Structure 1
Amino acid sequence: MRQINATVSITLDGVVQGPGRADEDTRGGFTHGGWGGRYNDEVMGREMGKDMATPTDMLFGHRTWTDFTTVWGSRTDDNPFTAHMNAATKYVVSRTLENADAWQNSILLSGDATGTVAELRAGEGNDLTIIGSASLVRSLHAAGLVDTYTLLIHPLTLGTGARLFEGPAPLTGLELTDSVTTTKGVIIARYTRS
């Protein structure tokens, strides 16, 4: 059986929307996009590199996969994240996407997210990493399918924006297995479902 890890950049008030770029996710009139960039440093790069050192497949929701396709799919730079993202097998969960041909090594998982991901998780293969894809993480969390979380907790509040857990989330115990603080005050906390 595969493990599923969700890696999420999050603010102190739980916002996960648009950490990468101003235009990344403006749904609901969100104007704070790009909030995470100023907190990148060597420590964060090293910690994310550790996560990439073990081969994993990737799991995306439709919206995040489409965004990442335009950002990473055509890049050829020497950034190790580029090589990792393009080489990895990428599963995209969607009820509306017709195919996953826009980004190499992508496989479409059609239908109900929890059902298709539960089948994938039960099979053989590399563990699965979710980056972003908050609505997918919420659905999989509610179904008990997320095994570990890597939260990059940024030292700011935004007041508005989509939160990791909007509405009720099931009671779930988590155990802190590792934490590192970056030079810019981001706490990278790794939790395992207990």
Structure 2
Amino acid sequence: MREIIVCTFLTLDGVMQAPGGPDEDAEGGFRHGGWQKPVDDEEVGAAIAGWYDGFDTMLLGRKTYDVFASYWPGADPGDPFTERMNGMRKYVASRTLTSVEWRNSTLLRGDAVDAVRELKASEGGPIGVIGSGDLAQTLMRHGLVDEYRLTIHPVIIGSGKRLFADGAVPTALTPVSVSTTKGGTVVGVYRTNGEPSYDSY
């Protein structure tokens, strides 16, 4: 059984929307696109590169696919990460796309949850869900996420799409590794571990 790993950049108040630029995702009137770069640092980049090293496959929602497919095919070919991104197998969940052109990309057909369950049961290594908030939340609701890899940046936005929005399924987590960069970003890896337990003081 392959593992599904959700990788996401978050603000301190949990917003994941449009970290990469002002035009990335303005849905809902979001005006804070591009919040990540001013609070980013080299340690974050090194951690993220390490996360990708273990992936066999990426699983993307339509918006993240569009952003990646518009950038990576024309990125610096001398950068090993460029070849990693372009060469990796990619599956795309979308209700609107009819085809995907980025190298090694496949459009999932039919119900996304059924398609991901089938993918999870196939042969291969870990599957990374990159960004793709709507897709990640769907997978969370159906108990398909095995691990979270999160960077939590020192900035508060106050509005926007959140990974753990209202209605998130209560889930116990086991920390695998947690560190803080010199710039104040928390880099955390957490395994899902059933339902939370409850007690009192």
TM over 0.5: yes
**Residues 68 and 30 (structure 1), Cα distance of their counterparts in 2 relative to 1, 3 Å cut:** same
CA distance in 2, matches of 1:53, 1:64: 19
Q: Kindly indicate whether residue 116 of structure 2 is the aligned counterpart of residue 117 of structure 1.
A: yes
Give the corresponding residue for 1:32.
Answer: 32
C-alpha separation in 2, matches of 1:51 and 1:167: 27
Does residue 16 of structure 1 match 2:16?
Answer: yes
Letter matched to residue 74 of structure 2: S
Q: Which residue pairs with 1:72 in the alignment?
A: 72
- Aligned residue for 2:151, secondary structure, equals strand
Report Cα offsets for 1:92-139 as digits up to 9, x if no partner.
Answer: 012221111x20000110222211101100111121001100111100
Q: For residue 42 of structure 1, report the CA deviation from its aligned partner.
A: 2.0
Distance, in Å, in 1 between the alignment partners of 2:158 and 2:170 is 25
Moved over 6 A (4+): none
Paired residues of 2:58 and 2:88 also in contact (CA < 8 A): yes
C-alpha contact (below 8 Å) 1:95/1:112 kept by paired residues: no
Residue 55 of structure 1 and its aligned partner are, at CA, apart by: 4.1
Deviation of 1:3 (Å): 0.4
After superposition, residues 75-154 of structure 1 pair within 5 angstroms as 75-100=75-100, 102-154=101-153
User: What secondary structure does 2:38 align onto?
Assistant: helix
Residues 55 and 128 in structure 2, CA contact (< 8 A), matched pair in contact too? no
> For residue 150 of structure 2, what is the amino acid of its counterpart?
L
Structure 2 unmatched ranges of 5 or more? 194-201
Q: Secondary structure at the match of 1:110?
A: coil
Which deviates more from structure 2 when the two are superposed, residues 49-58 or residues 6-15? 49-58
Does the CA-based 8 Å contact 2:54-2:126 persist in structure 1? no
Structure 1 stretches lacking a partner, 5+ long: none
For normalisation by structure 1, the TM-score amounts to 0.94
Following superposition of structure 1 onto structure 2, how do residues 140-179 of structure 1 map, counting pairs within 5 Å?
A: 140-179=139-178
Q: Tell me how far 1:64 sits from its aligned partner.
A: 1.1
- Greater Cα radius of gyration, structure 1 or 2: 2
Percent identical:
42
Name the TM-score, length of structure 2 as normaliser: 0.91
**Contact 2:5/2:147, CA 8 A, preserved across alignment:** yes
**Contact 1:175-1:193 within 8 A present in 2 as well:** yes
Q: 3-state DSSP class of the match of 2:81? A: helix
Structure 2 CA distance, aligned partners of 1:163 and 1:54? Answer: 26
Deviations 1:24-82 (A, max 9, x none): 11111111111011222221122112223224210001121012111212223433332
How do residues 51-70 of structure 1 correspond to structure 2 at under 5 angstroms? 51-70=51-70
Q: Tell me how far apart the structure 2 counterparts of residues 9 and 180 of structure 1 sit (CA, whole Å).
A: 15
Query: Which range moved further: 153-162 or 48-57?
Result: 48-57
Secondary structure of the structure 2 residue equivalent to 1:7: strand
RMSD: 1.3
